[in-house]
């Protein structure tokens, strides 16, 4: 699969480390935050954003504050992720309900999802952005394509760090369902590539440019949390997008 270059940004205001595509889109900012530059102790070290995994709430609060600083003091809009294909249209920051994708056409705040192996997908249209949390269920139901179809103008997609075929063996039944839906190329034996399935879904939805950063959360424990590799006692990475 074709991948695009990316760059790790460390030591910027606030200190939270993130990865961004190179070049970044002209009309939006994208931050795929790593696990580096935060306050959480092992096994949540160190930029964990979830209070639901057993980490100290105070550390999470400090981590979120650092992340906000890196994002130019933007507030965030977030959803209660339920591993489905629900898309929530938001008008401002704050809790936006249940779903696995956010869409907004307003400036001044960021759309965020929390990730540990599932794939964050940032979509950039004309004056509109979306952030998608695409686990296997959401990917199979085509959540990224669904989000893209609801956006105005030409849409560009950025597939962020998630678990890839090298680290994601699934049941034979699930592998067959994916091959049946997206074509044989998304699986190799029982190894499933969620990013490849997402790329095909986005292409079907008419997205012209699909940029895959090529990063695997399972292969890079130095940069990302991985539920598959580290078990339930691990953190969550934040992925964010905002109009400039």
Yes or no: say if 74 and 31 are a contact pair by the CB < 8 Å rule: no
- Give Cα 29 distance to the centre of its chain: 14
Q: How far is the CB of 166 from Zn ion (least distance, A)?
A: 3
Give dist(CA 157, CA 206) in Å, integer. 11
Q: Pick the piece of the chain touching Zn ion (CB under 5 A) from 108-116, 153-161, 191-199, 209-217.
A: 209-217
Write phi, then psi, for 65 (nearest 5 degrees).
-65, -40
The verdict on 216 binding Zn ion (CB under 5 A) reads yes
The verdict on 165 binding Zn ion (CB under 5 A) reads no
Residue whose CB is less far from Zn ion, 164 or 236: 164
Peptide bond into 190 cis (omega under 30): no
Q: Pick the piece of the chain touching Zn ion (CB under 5 A) from 6-14, 103-111, 145-153, 218-226.
A: 218-226
Q: Pick the piece of the chain touching Zn ion (CB under 5 A) from 4-12, 95-103, 156-164, 179-187.
A: 156-164
The verdict on 167 binding Zn ion (CB under 5 A) reads yes
- Contacts with 126 (C-beta within 8 Å, 6 or more apart), sequence order: 27, 152, 153, 154
The verdict on 219 binding Zn ion (CB under 5 A) reads yes
Q: How far is the CB of 164 from Zn ion (least distance, A)?
A: 5
The verdict on 194 binding Zn ion (CB under 5 A) reads no
List of residues contacting Zn ion (CB under 5 A) = 164, 166-167, 216, 218-219
């Amino acid at each position: 699969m074709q991948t695009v270059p990316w760059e790790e940004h460390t030591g910027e205001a606030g200190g939270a480390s993130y990865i961004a595509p190179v070049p970044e889109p002209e009309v939006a900012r994208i931050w795929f935050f790593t696990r580096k530059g935060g306050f959480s102790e092992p096994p949540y070290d160190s930029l964990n954003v979830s209070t639901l995994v057993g980490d100290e709430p105070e550390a999470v609060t400090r981590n979120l504050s650092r992340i906000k600083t890196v994002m130019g003091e933007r507030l965030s809009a977030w959803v209660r992720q339920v591993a489905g294909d629900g898309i929530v249209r938001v008008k401002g920051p704050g809790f936006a309900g249940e779903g696995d994708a956010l869409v907004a056409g307003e400036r001044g705040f960021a759309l965020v999802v929390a990730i540990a192996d599932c794939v964050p997908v940032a979509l950039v249209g004309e004056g509109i952005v979306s952030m998608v949390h695409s686990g296997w269920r959401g990917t199979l139901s085509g959540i990224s394509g669904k989000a893209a179809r609801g956006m105005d103008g030409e849409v560009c997609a950025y597939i962020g760090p998630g678990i890839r075929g090298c680290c994601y063996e699934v049941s034979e039944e699930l592998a067959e369902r994916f091959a049946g839906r997206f074509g044989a190329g998304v699986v190799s034996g029982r190894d499933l590539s969620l990013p490849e399935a997402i790329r095909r879904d986005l292409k079907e939805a008419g997205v012209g440019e699909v940029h895959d950063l090529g990063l695997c959360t399972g292969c890079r424990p130095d940069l990302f949390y991985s539920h598959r590799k580290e078990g339930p006692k691990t953190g969550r990475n934040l992925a964010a997008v905002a109009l400039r």
